[in-house]
Amino acid sequence: MDYRLTTNVFPPAAPGRWARHHHEEHELLWGARGLLTVETDDGWFAVPATAGLWIPAGVSHAVESSGGTAFCCTYLRDAPPALGARTAAVTVPPAVVELLRLLADEPLADDVRRRCEDVVLDLLRPVEVAPMVLPMPEDPRLLGVARALLRQPHDGRSVQAWAGGLAMSVRHFSRRFAHETGMTFDQWRLHARVRVALGLLAQGVPVAAVARRVGYASPSAFVQAFTRVMGHTPGWYQGGARSA
């Protein structure tokens, strides 16, 4: 039988990076444990345990995982009806997780396998929580700032300091950053901190420690900011990571 779904499992390992590439089939990244990030022309995505990332066929993307990260990668010949041609966050219900594991591990009769594949395709939906995408600037100077903040989200330097480091006026830096990302610099930094926090929460890092590592002086300030961006508390995401 010509399988419509195939899954590769990546167990916890050392930090890894897969340079820009694309696939002839659609790709679903799911079941992340740790910090798994994907960069496409649409932006920078963090993949938490509570959701998956849909990458349509032909979309160029780079993938990076922190040490100890585990995840699964399912290739799909057919696109689910609810998903379009852009990279997007999707819900991966427990039923889909179990079916994908079954399809990967068990020899099934052709008709049974086809019915299981149909159910998977029918249940994948765009995510109902806040999108995981973080738009990245195109200007190489601003892109360098963005990457530095993703590596060191606790860096609290002001917009004046960042602009001065690039020999740019604050006005020019701010206008260009907003034009290229659709966010002010402060808004973008908030979203960047939340995206990094998602990966740390998925690793089971306590909320107080996550707050410090992404630049917040108190856990309560972090919880408030995180909830404002994602629509759920950090504890909600940690609960999903444990049960996924």
pLDDT at 129: 53
pLDDT at 231: 78
pLDDT at 220: 96
Q: Is the pLDDT of residue 143 over 90?
A: yes
Instruction: Label residue 241 by pLDDT band (50, 70, 90).
Output: low
pLDDT at 130: 55
pLDDT at 13: 82
Question: Of 93-97, 131-135, 228-232, which range is least confident?
Answer: 131-135
Q: Is the pLDDT of residue 243 over 70?
A: no
Instruction: Label residue 45 by pLDDT band (50, 70, 90).
Output: confident
Per-residue burial over 191-227, b = 16 or more CB atoms within 10 Å of its CB, e = otherwise = bbbbbbbbbbbbbebebeebbebbbbeebeebbebbe
Closest CA to 181 of 148, 217, 143, 235: 143
* 136-243 and 5-126 share a CATH fold: no
Q: Compare 26 and 41 and report the one with higher pLDDT.
A: 26
Instruction: Label residue 91 by pLDDT band (50, 70, 90).
Output: confident
- Looking at the whole model, is its pTM more than 0.75? no
- Domain parsing of the chain, residue ranges: 5-126, 136-243
Q: What is the pLDDT of residues 153-212, one digit of tens each?
A: 999 999 999 999 999 999 999 999 999 999 999 999 999 999 888 878 877 789 999 999
Rounded Cα distance between 76 and 122, Å, is: 13
Going 216 to 156 to 139 to 15, the CA torsion angle's sign is: negative
Give strand pairing partners of 38.
Answer: 45, 63
Q: What is the pLDDT of residues 103-119, one digit of tens each?
A: 998 889 999 999 999 99
Average pLDDT, the chain: 88
Q: CATH code for 136-243?
A: 1.10.10.60
Rounded Cα distance between 229 and 130, Å, is: 7
Question: Of 18-27, 123-132, 205-214, 215-224, which range is least confident?
Answer: 123-132
Percent of the chain with pLDDT over 70: 95
Return the CATH fold of 5-126. Jelly Rolls (2.60.120)
Measured CA angle at 106 (ends 6, 203), to 5 deg: 65
